[in-house]
Structure 1
Amino acid sequence: MDLFSRSWAALRTTVAYLSDEDFGRPSGCAGWLVRDLVCHLIIDAQDVLITLVTPADAEPTRDEVTYWETADVQPNGEHPLDALTVRLAAAYEEPRLLKFHLDDVGSAAGRAAELADPAVCVGTRGHVITTGDYLRAYVLEWTLHHLDLIAQLPDAPRPPEECLARSRTMLERIAGTALPAEWSDADALLIATGRREPSDAERAALTGAAAKLPIFLQ
């Protein structure tokens, strides 16, 4: 749960760092500009708040790994919900309004997570999961989206190293295979989720089950 707070705080700090011009740059999410991704983060923060106040009187059906489902193809921004996010982001008109809303809702989500009992079960996406596992799953969400946010911004603040390492471990568990040890944690996350094409040398390092990568999370 500590890593949830670190990854989420780092992501929101990086959004605050962005210039107005940065919001019009491509993000690491196919079909989305940075402004669209920031709008998605606002929706994510709302989802966290909703989930944390949705107790479930049942045994968990998901954990931090099985929370994630995989798709056969990479999202391209054309799904109706993805397209809706683009329209919502455009409605803000000014980057400062996106920043303000993310800071407002995002801070509330962060406080709610710190106050939450990790053992309590909550309902989300039609499943039951402990609050602790739910928040741990979001470390991967925040870290991947932090990398998406700075895809075209090499000088922007990066995700915390401990969050990158934890996210890599989680992704390896989801994929059911270890990723090449010589890859950095950031490269492992980007390549394994299809956000970056591997070089010839990187592709040659993929053997066994890892050769089936990338996987697309949803």
Structure 2
Amino acid sequence: MEDLGDVLAQAWLETLDLVGSLDPTGLRTATDLPGWTVLDLSFHLMLDAQRALVVLADPGPGPADTDRVTYWSGQQPGLPGADDHAAYVRRAAAAYASPTGLLRHWDDTVQGALAAVRHADPADHVATQGHVLAVPDFVHTLVVEAAVHRLDLAARLPQAPSPPPVPLRCVREVLDGLLGHPVPVEWDDATYARKGTGRTALDAGERALLGADAARFPLFG
């Protein structure tokens, strides 16, 4: 649990540093999520930290009905409500008087959420997104979300540093778990994350290597 908290802190704080280093033009740059700018996606990531604060404040005994891998099997592109959420995020991000206000709110929320993670009992369970997870598995889902969106944020920012490697290894763990075996294509972790979540399409050679599993991509989105 302590290690997962450190990985989450690395994922969140590195992304905060990246966004905080951008000028107004950079903050308006498009991301790999259609219709969302860097600021829009920053607000969405703040909502994850806010969700962590809320659910960790009210843990329960369980039992869990999903884990760090199976949780993602229901997260597919185009789910009902996705368009409404995207529209809400854009409106809410635009409602801040300045980007500085949004980033300060995000930073404060992240700091509070990380403190909640540090003090959480790994034997507890939390309810979120219609599921119940053990606390360590819930924290793992936050790491995966942060890692994938870090790639989304930096997709059109050539000056962005390479993402931290450990969160991306957590994404690989989930993708291989959903696939049922290690992927038979020699992708690095970032490429696998993009391919496995549908950010980047499979080419003919990759489909041949994947065989019947190619039809299951994206594994989550």
**Is this a same-fold pair by TM over 0.5?**
yes
Match of 2:191 in 1: 187
Taking the TM superposition and a 5 Å limit, the aligned residue runs for 1:95-174 are 95-174=99-178
The question of 1:36 aligning with 2:12 is answered no
Amino acid in structure 1 at the alignment position of 2:36: W
Quick one: which of 15, 22, 25 aligns to 1:18? 22
Cα distance in 2 for partners of 1:113, 1:214 equals 30
Match of 2:71 in 1: 67
Q: CA deviation at 1:211?
A: 4.2
Cα distance in 2 for partners of 1:197, 1:96 equals 35
Q: Is the 8 A contact 1:178 1:210 kept in 2?
A: no
Give unpaired runs (5+ residues) of structure 2: none
* Structure ranking higher in helix proportion: 2
Describe the SS at the equivalent of 1:140. helix
Cα distance in 1 for partners of 2:217, 2:70 equals 18
Q: Deviations over 1:105-127 (max 9, x none)?
A: 11111121122121211222232
Q: CA deviation at 1:37?
A: 0.3
Q: CA deviation at 1:181?
A: 4.1
- Percent identity of paired positions between Structure 1 and Structure 2: 37
Root mean square deviation of aligned Cα: 2.2
Quick one: which of 6, 10, 18 aligns to 2:10? 6
In the superposition, the TM-score normalised over structure 1's length comes to 0.89
Give unpaired runs (5+ residues) of structure 1: none
Taking the TM superposition and a 5 Å limit, the aligned residue runs for 1:41-60 are 41-60=45-64
Cα distance in 2 for partners of 1:123, 1:78 equals 20
Cα distance in 2 for partners of 1:92, 1:175 equals 41
Kindly tell me the number of residue pairs found equivalent between the two proteins.
217
In the superposition, the TM-score normalised over structure 2's length comes to 0.88
**Could you say if the C-alpha distance between residues 186 and 39 of structure 1 is closer, same or farther in structure 2, counting changes exceeding 3 Å?**
same
